A and B are shown apart, each in its own frame.
Chain A
Amino acid sequence: MSERTIIDARGSFCPGPLMELIARLKFAQVGEEFEVLSTDKGSASDIPEWLNKVGHQLIDTREEGGVWHIALKKMK
Chain B
Amino acid sequence: MKILIVGGGMGGTILANNLARRLAPELRAGKVQLAMLSASDKHMYQPGLLYLALGRMTPDELYRDQASLLEPGIDFQVDPVETFELDQNRVKTKSGKTHGYDILVVATGSRPVPEMIPGLAENAETFYTEATALKMFKRLQAFQGGRVVIAVGVPHKCPMAPLEIIFMLHDYFKDRGIRDKVQLHYTYPVGRVHTLENVAKWAAPEMDRLGITYETLFNMKQVDGANKVVKSEEGSEAKYDLLITIPAHKGMEVIETNKLGAGGFIPTNKTQLTMEGRKNVYVIGDTTNIPISKAGSTVHYQAETLGENIAAIVKLGAPVREHDGKVFCFIEVGKDRATYAQFNYTTPPDPKPPTKAVHWFKMAYNKLYWTTARGLL
Beyond A14-B293, A16-B190, whether A26 also contacts B343 by CB under 8 A is no
CB within 8 A of A50: which of B195, B217, B343?
B217
Q: Determine if B291 is an interface residue (Cβ-Cβ < 8 Å).
A: yes
Mark interface residues in B202-224 (1 if CB within 8 Å of A CB, else 0).
Answer: 00000000000000010100000
A 1-40 contacts with B by CB, 8 A = 7-9, 11-20, 22-24, 26-28
Distance (Å) between the CB of B156 and the closest chain A CB?
9
CB within 8 A of B155: which of A9, A15, A53, A54?
A15
Chain B residues near A9 (CB-CB < 8 A): 291
Beyond A15-B195, A16-B196, A27-B262, whether A53 also contacts B235 by CB under 8 A is yes
CB within 8 A of B191: which of A8, A11, A18?
A18
Q: Could you tell me the distance between the alpha carbons of A48 and B327 in the complex, rounded to whole angstroms?
A: 28
Q: Which of B217, B235, B346 gathers the greatest number of chain A CB atoms within 10 Å? A: B217
Q: Could you tell me the distance between the alpha carbons of A49 and B294 in the complex, rounded to whole angstroms?
A: 25
A15 near B154: Cβ-Cβ < 8 Å: yes
A42 near B197: Cβ-Cβ < 8 Å: yes
B348 near A13: Cβ-Cβ < 8 Å: yes
B248 near A26: Cβ-Cβ < 8 Å: yes
Distance (Å) between the CB of B237 and the closest chain A CB?
14
B189 near A22: Cβ-Cβ < 8 Å: yes
A15 near B291: Cβ-Cβ < 8 Å: yes
Q: Could you tell me the distance between the alpha carbons of A27 and B341 in the complex, rounded to whole angstroms?
A: 29
Chain B residues near A42 (CB-CB < 8 A): 197
B291 near A8: Cβ-Cβ < 8 Å: yes
Chain A residues near B191 (CB-CB < 8 A): 18, 46, 49-50
- Nearest B-chain residue to A49, judged by Cβ: B191
Size of B's binding interface in residues, CB under 8 A: 30
Q: Could you tell me the distance between the alpha carbons of A23 and B291 in the complex, rounded to whole angstroms?
A: 10
- Nearest A-chain residue to B346, judged by Cβ: A11
- Nearest B-chain residue to A7, judged by Cβ: B291
Q: Could you tell me the distance between the alpha carbons of A9 and B345 in the complex, rounded to whole angstroms?
A: 10
- Nearest B-chain residue to A56, judged by Cβ: B233
B292 near A22: Cβ-Cβ < 8 Å: no
Q: Determine if B234 is an interface residue (Cβ-Cβ < 8 Å).
A: yes
Chain A residues near B219 (CB-CB < 8 A): 22, 54
Q: Determine if B116 is an interface residue (Cβ-Cβ < 8 Å).
A: yes
Distance (Å) between the CB of A9 and the closest chain B CB?
5
Bin chain A's interface residue count: 20 to 34
Q: Could you tell me the distance between the alpha carbons of A23 and B348 in the complex, rounded to whole angstroms?
A: 21
Chain B residues near A8 (CB-CB < 8 A): 291
Beyond A15-B291, A26-B248, whether A53 also contacts B234 by CB under 8 A is yes
Chain A residues near B197 (CB-CB < 8 A): 13, 42
- Nearest A-chain residue to B261, judged by Cβ: A27
B234 near A20: Cβ-Cβ < 8 Å: no
- Nearest A-chain residue to B264, judged by Cβ: A27
Distance (Å) between the CB of B130 and the closest chain A CB?
25
Q: Could you tell me the distance between the alpha carbons of A61 and B297 in the complex, rounded to whole angstroms?
A: 34
- Nearest B-chain residue to A55, judged by Cβ: B233
Q: Determine if B55 is an interface residue (Cβ-Cβ < 8 Å).
A: no
Distance (Å) between the CB of B164 and the closest chain A CB?
14
Distance (Å) between the CB of B283 and the closest chain A CB?
16
- Nearest B-chain residue to A12, judged by Cβ: B291
Mark interface residues in B331-361 (1 if CB within 8 Å of A CB, else 0).
Answer: 0000000000101011011000000000000
Chain A residues near B293 (CB-CB < 8 A): 14-15
Q: Could you tell me the distance between the alpha carbons of A26 and B291 in the complex, rounded to whole angstroms?
A: 15
Q: Could you tell me the distance between the alpha carbons of A38 and B361 in the complex, rounded to whole angstroms?
A: 34
Q: Could you tell me the distance between the alpha carbons of A22 and B155 in the complex, rounded to whole angstroms?
A: 8
Distance (Å) between the CB of B314 and the closest chain A CB?
30
Q: Could you tell me the distance between the alpha carbons of A7 and B270 in the complex, rounded to whole angstroms?
A: 12
- Nearest A-chain residue to B290, judged by Cβ: A12
Interface residues of A (CB under 8 A from B): 7-9, 11-20, 22-24, 26-28, 42, 46, 49-50, 53-54
16 A-B pairs whose Cβ atoms sit less than 8 Å apart in the complex: A7-B291, A11-B325, A12-B292, A13-B343, A13-B349, A14-B159, A16-B195, A22-B154, A23-B248, A26-B116, A26-B154, A27-B262, A50-B190, A50-B191, A50-B234, A53-B217
Minimum-distance CB pairs A-B, first 9: A12-B291, A27-B263, A11-B345, A23-B155, A16-B195, A27-B262, A20-B291, A14-B293, A9-B291
